[in-house]
């Protein structure tokens, strides 16, 4: 302190006061503004998905002219780095510094479960789309919602449809991503499989971001399965499908991508690798609904390619959030939460209803079969939707017993 | 074997030029992308496999001549920054030219599918890569050990000033060494493409492994790079069988243990 004069101390004090009192009036969200945070992975394991999620959310907001309930929407993004620590830190920072009250994302289930805790603590709205059942299950609370189909709905659609087409394919080998999403879907694939008399001859788990699948495929080949089903996502699914082809398993043995991003994964595989590939997804761009048709049209016009599950989820979650604000005629978090609970409407993938008791969005799940090379009408004509299923999670499996209060 | 190829290439560059080449991973990716484009242009896998690494070698010559040469006297910090910056430029260049979306490349028809080895099924293409990489490693070793130019390169690693005093054009030696290192990275990238597919960041993992191989071997030790490459590959495969989550960590675990016991590397001289 020896170098500081009394005048310096007064100056510093004034500056500090300006920082503490004056700045927030400038930086904090104005009351006429609704701050929505897109929490996406721009780096880390899902870095390839972040930019397309951002596109989907922007598109939904731009359709509304960046306005809701006469208020301007301020859209901000943060990079969650596909890490729970970074995601929670940045979400909290966006809530505290930028006044974000509505969080959409992130993409990874494990990361989303951590962000969901932030939403609960900070009392901000949170919409997520992914494979973990815990957001609308064991760790449910009033502030977090799930847009993707329940893993049970997905498993039921995939297994029932596949077994209808291939009743003799009873020996299944599973390859599962070893985190929240993989465990949830695996549980229900096995559960639904029992009803069809399926024997699970192997179920290997691999870490997120695995790039060397040869050991897993060697083991799968040794089990002589009738079908290999992968419960993984993104680059893991692409790398696994490629390796299974290289080993000569596909196309002789059918391969199921149980929970796929659709276009984003299929475009990375050659038609030869896609032969005898069956794909389950929360969205496929040929979904025959008026909103999906419009969305696909404007997305393709803007970005060239049709949208996959990721941009569709970001688009769909943003639309549902805005619809809840309209229903509530308010942009206060508590009002929007109450309005979204039980909201039922025809939206992106068809009839959609948000279960007020669990915050699970009840909606159709898609199952596709990839086309052979000579049947494709264009380079992006990957598959036909062969079934949609919307069987909700039976009550006996529901882990969300009490969603609590606001 | 692919790790050994990457390791030898990086070892030559590190040894002769005394430069940590952080662009080695990006050049590996470039080899894969050149392969795919050449297959599309020429319709011939084998010709593309021959030309793609040479293309990477040409890029290497341009990098050495235009970027690294002016910095030989500038110190390690500048060279490190340059090669790191180059890795970013090459990666972004791949995104601009080919797109950020990954892609697959099929093996040639004759190498598709698996071979039943009795105890297990193994992909034909992987068997080919093992054989090809082994031959290439052997060829690189013979070139460095049995040819006059290889002897000059090894002498360059030992004592550049002495080589220069003997009337050998040291700048040409540097260019050749950098280009050879790049060609080996390009071959590894091209051979890997049908196994792991392509994406602009595919070189990042490989760069880390290549540096582990070089550190394990002892800086600039070529025979050591071969042994260390094999050691890393075998360790990774064995661990992946029993504990897949640790298959990447084991690479760095092996390096830590070896460097604690022999700080100069397996074959390095203290």
Instruction: Give the mean pLDDT of A362-367.
Output: 97
CA–CA min distance A270, chain B (Å): 6
Instruction: Give the mean pLDDT of A192-214.
Output: 91
From the candidates A212, A274, A303, which should be mutated to test the interface with B, based on the most B CB atoms within 10 A? A212
- What lies within 8 Å, CB to CB, of B88 at 6+ separation is B26
Q: Considering only CB atoms, which chain A residues are within 8 Å of B106?
A: 270, 272-273
**B73 in a domain, yes or no?**
yes
Q: Phi and psi (nearest 5°) for B266? A: -60, -40
Question: Where residue A39 falls among pLDDT bands split at 50, 70, 90?
Answer: very high
Domains annotated on chain A, with CATH: 33-149+288-363 (3.40.50.2300), 151-281+365-389 (3.40.50.2300)
Whole-angstrom Cα Rg for chain B: 18
Domain that holds residue B106: 2-200
How far apart (Å, rounded) are the C-alpha atoms in residues B149 and A182?
54
pLDDT in tens, B33-47: 999 999 999 999 999
Instruction: Give the mean pLDDT of A279-295.
Output: 96
Instruction: Give the mean pLDDT of B145-156.
Output: 84
Instruction: With a cut of 80, say whether residue A23 has pLDDT above it.
Output: no
**B216 in a domain, yes or no?**
no
Question: Where residue B156 falls among pLDDT bands split at 50, 70, 90?
Answer: confident
Instruction: Indicate the pairing of strand A361-362 with strand A350-354.
Output: antiparallel
**pLDDT for the residue A147:** 97
- Output the six-digit token pair for A222: 């040794």
Instruction: Give the mean pLDDT of A32-42.
Output: 94
Q: Considering only CB atoms, which chain A residues are within 8 Å of B103?
A: 268
Predicted-complex ipTM score: 0.81
State the number of CA atoms in the 13 A half-sphere of A279 facing the CB: 32
- Output the six-digit token pair for A186: 């695996």
Instruction: Give the mean pLDDT of A36-61.
Output: 91
Task: Give the whole-number percent of chain A exceeding pLDDT 90.
Answer: 79
B200: nearest CA partner in chain A: A48
**pLDDT for the residue A24:** 47
- Does the beta carbon of B236 lie under 8 angstroms from any beta carbon of chain A? yes
Instruction: With a cut of 50, say whether residue A25 has pLDDT above it.
Output: no
- Does the beta carbon of A347 lie under 8 angstroms from any beta carbon of chain B? no
Do residue A248 and residue B102 have CB atoms under 8 angstroms apart?
A: no
Question: Which of A221, A238, A243 lies nearest to residue B102, judging by beta carbons?
Answer: A238
Instruction: With a cut of 80, say whether residue A13 has pLDDT above it.
Output: no
- Report in angstroms the alpha-carbon separations of B136 from A254, B8, B130, B132, B195: 37, 11, 10, 6, 18
Instruction: With a cut of 50, say whether residue A21 has pLDDT above it.
Output: no
> Higher confidence at residue B264 or residue A206?
A206
**B226 in a domain, yes or no?**
no
**pLDDT for the residue A22:** 45
CA–CA min distance A201, chain B (Å): 16
Number of neighbours of residue A139 by Cβ within 10 angstroms: 17
- In the three-class reduction of DSSP (H, G, I as helix; E, B as strand; rest coil), residue A287 is classed as coil
From the candidates B25, B102, B110, B240, which should be mutated to test the interface with A, based on the most A CB atoms within 10 A? B102
Do residue B114 and residue A243 have CB atoms under 8 angstroms apart?
A: no
Q: Number of structural domains, chain B? A: 1
Number of neighbours of residue A380 by Cβ within 10 angstroms: 14
Instruction: Give the mean pLDDT of A117-141.
Output: 94
- What lies within 8 Å, CB to CB, of A341 at 6+ separation is A354, A356, A359
- Report in angstroms the alpha-carbon separations of B102 from A270, B32, B36, B197, B218: 11, 12, 12, 7, 35
Nearest to B240 by CA among A177, A228, A216, A221: A216
Task: Give the whole-number percent of chain A exceeding pLDDT 70.
Answer: 92
Most confident of A51-55, A132-136, B172-176: A51-55
Contact in structure between A366 and A284 (CB atoms under 8 Å):
yes
Question: Where residue A4 falls among pLDDT bands split at 50, 70, 90?
Answer: very low
> Running DSSP on this structure, what letter comes out for residue A397?
G
Do residue A239 and residue B113 have CB atoms under 8 angstroms apart?
A: no
Instruction: Give the mean pLDDT of B60-69.
Output: 90
> Higher confidence at residue B125 or residue B218?
B125
Omega prior to A251 cis, within 30 of 0: yes
H/E element, B121: strand B121-123
**B257 in a domain, yes or no?**
no
Q: Considering only CB atoms, which chain B residues are within 8 Å of A267?
A: 101
Q: Which residues on adjacent β-strands are paired with residue A175?
A: A204, A230
Do residue A207 and residue B196 have CB atoms under 8 angstroms apart?
A: no
pLDDT in tens, A314-363: 999 999 999 999 999 999 999 999 999 999 999 999 999 999 999 999 99
Instruction: Give the mean pLDDT of B89-109.
Output: 91
CA–CA min distance B194, chain A (Å): 8
Question: Which of B121, B197, B199 lies nearest to residue A221, judging by beta carbons?
Answer: B121
**B192 in a domain, yes or no?**
yes
Instruction: Indicate the pairing of strand B114-116 with strand A67-68.
Output: unpaired
**pLDDT for the residue A65:** 97
**B239 in a domain, yes or no?**
no
- Which range, of A290-304, A356-370, A388-402, averages the lowest pLDDT? A388-402
Question: Where residue A12 falls among pLDDT bands split at 50, 70, 90?
Answer: very low
Do residue B102 and residue A216 have CB atoms under 8 angstroms apart?
A: no
Cβ-count burial B45-59 (b if 16+ within 10 Å, e if not): beebbebbbbbbbeb
**pLDDT for the residue A345:** 96
How far apart (Å, rounded) are the C-alpha atoms in residues A278 and A36?
36
**pLDDT for the residue B269:** 62
Instruction: Give the mean pLDDT of A3-16.
Output: 48
Instruction: With a cut of 50, say whether residue A18 has pLDDT above it.
Output: no
pLDDT in tens, B11-29: 888 877 778 889 999 999 9
**B99 in a domain, yes or no?**
yes
Do residue A218 and residue B195 have CB atoms under 8 angstroms apart?
A: no
**pLDDT for the residue A6:** 47
What's this model's pTM, rounded to 2 decimal places? 0.83
Contact in structure between B124 and B111 (CB atoms under 8 Å):
yes
Contact in structure between B31 and B59 (CB atoms under 8 Å):
no
- Does the beta carbon of B77 lie under 8 angstroms from any beta carbon of chain A? no
Question: Where residue A31 falls among pLDDT bands split at 50, 70, 90?
Answer: low
Instruction: With a cut of 90, say whether residue A258 has pLDDT above it.
Output: yes
How far apart (Å, rounded) are the C-alpha atoms in residues A304 and A298?
10
Do residue B197 and residue A238 have CB atoms under 8 angstroms apart?
A: yes
- Does the beta carbon of B99 lie under 8 angstroms from any beta carbon of chain A? no
- Does the beta carbon of A275 lie under 8 angstroms from any beta carbon of chain B? no
Instruction: Give the mean pLDDT of A379-389.
Output: 95
Instruction: Give the mean pLDDT of B61-79.
Output: 85
> Higher confidence at residue A177 or residue B121?
A177
Q: Considering only CB atoms, which chain B residues are within 8 Å of A221?
A: 114, 120-121
How far apart (Å, rounded) are the C-alpha atoms in residues A140 and A13?
46
Instruction: With a cut of 90, say whether residue A99 has pLDDT above it.
Output: yes
Mean pLDDT, chain A, whole residue set: 91
- Does the beta carbon of A212 lie under 8 angstroms from any beta carbon of chain B? yes
**B104 in a domain, yes or no?**
yes
B122: nearest CA partner in chain A: A247
**pLDDT for the residue A72:** 97
Q: Considering only CB atoms, which chain A residues are within 8 Å of B114?
A: 221, 246-249
């Amino acid at each position: 302190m020896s170098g500081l004069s009394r005048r310096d101390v007064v100056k510093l004090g004034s500056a500090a006061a300006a920082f503490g009192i004056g700045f927030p009036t400038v930086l904090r969200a104005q009351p006429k503004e609704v701050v929505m945070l897109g929490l996406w992975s721009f780096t880390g394991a899902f870095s390839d998905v972040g930019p397309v999620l951002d596109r989907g959310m922007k598109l939904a907001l731009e359709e509304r002219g960046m306005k809701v309930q006469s208020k301007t929407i301020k859209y901000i993004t943060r990079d969650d780095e596909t890490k729970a620590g970074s995601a929670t830190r940045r979400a909290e920072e966006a809530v505290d510094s930028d006044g974000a009250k509505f969080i959409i994302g992130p993409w990874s289930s494990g990361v989303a479960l951590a962000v969901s805790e932030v939403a609960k603590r900070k009392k901000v709205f949170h919409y997520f789309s992914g494979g973990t059942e815990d957001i609308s299950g064991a760790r449910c609370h009033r502030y977090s919602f799930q847009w993707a189909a329940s893993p049970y709905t997905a498993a039921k659609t995939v297994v029932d449809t596949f077994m209808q087409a291939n009743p003799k394919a009873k020996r299944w080998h599973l390859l599962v991503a070893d985190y929240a999403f993989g465990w949830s879907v695996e549980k229900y694939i096995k559960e639904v499989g029992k009803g069809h008399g399926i024997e699970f001859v192997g179920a290997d788990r691999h870490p997120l971001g695995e790039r060397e699948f040869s050991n897993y495929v060697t083991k799968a080949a040794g089990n002589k399965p009738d079908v290999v089903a992968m419960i993984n996502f993104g680059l893991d699914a692409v790398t696994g499908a490629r390796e299974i082809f290289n080993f000569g398993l596909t196309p002789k043995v059918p391969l199921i991508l149980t929970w796929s991003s659709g276009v984003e994964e299929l475009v990375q595989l050659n038609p030869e690798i896609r032969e005898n590939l069956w794909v389950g997804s929360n969205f496929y761009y040929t979904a025959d609904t008026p909103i999906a048709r419009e969305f696909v049209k404007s997305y393709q016009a803007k970005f060239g390619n049709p949208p996959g599950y990721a941009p569709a989820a970001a688009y769909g979650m943003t639309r549902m959030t805005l619809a809840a604000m309209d229903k509530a005629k308010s942009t206060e978090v508590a009002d929007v939460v109450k309005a979204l609970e039980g909201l039922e409407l025809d939206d992106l993938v068809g009839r959609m209803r948000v279960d007020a008791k669990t915050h699970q969005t009840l909606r159709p799940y898609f199952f596709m079969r990839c086309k052979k090379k000579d049947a494709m009408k264009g380079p992006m004509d990957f598959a036909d939707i062969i079934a949609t299923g919307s069987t909700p999670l039976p009550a006996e499996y529901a882990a969300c017993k009490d969603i609590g209060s606001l | 074997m692919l790790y050994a190829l990457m390791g030898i290439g990086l070892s030559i560059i590190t040894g002769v030029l005394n430069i940590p080449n952080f662009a080695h991973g990006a050049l590996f990716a470039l080899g894969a992308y050149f392969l795919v484009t050449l297959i599309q242009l020429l319709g011939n896998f084998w010709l593309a496999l021959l030309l793609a690494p040479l293309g990477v070698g040409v890029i290497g010559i341009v990098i050495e001549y235009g970027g690294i040469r002016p910095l030989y006297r500038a110190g390690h910090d500048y060279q490190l920054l340059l090669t790191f910056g180059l890795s970013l430029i090459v990666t972004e260049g791949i995104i601009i030219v080919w797109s950020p979306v990954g892609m697959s490349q099929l093996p040639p028809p004759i190498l598709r599918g698996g071979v039943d080895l009795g105890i297990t099924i193994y992909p034909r293409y992987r068997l080919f890569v093992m054989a090809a990489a082994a031959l290439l490693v052997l060829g690189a070793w013979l070139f460095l050990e049995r040819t006059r130019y290889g002897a000059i390169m090894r002498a360059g690693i030992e004592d550049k000033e002495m080589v220069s005093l003997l009337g050998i054009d040291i700048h040409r030696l540097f260019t050749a060494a950098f280009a050879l290192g790049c060609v080996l990275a390009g071959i590894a990238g091209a051979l890997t493409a049908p196994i792991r597919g392509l994406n602009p960041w595919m070189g990042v993992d490989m760069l880390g492994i290549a540096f582990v191989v070089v550190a394990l071997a002892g800086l600039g030790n070529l025979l050591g790079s071969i042994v260390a490459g094999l050691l890393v590959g075998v360790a990774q495969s064995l661990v992946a069988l029993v504990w897949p989550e640790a298959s990447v960590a084991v690479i760095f675990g092996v390096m830590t243990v070896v460097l604690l016991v022999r700080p100069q590397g397996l074959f390095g001289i203290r």
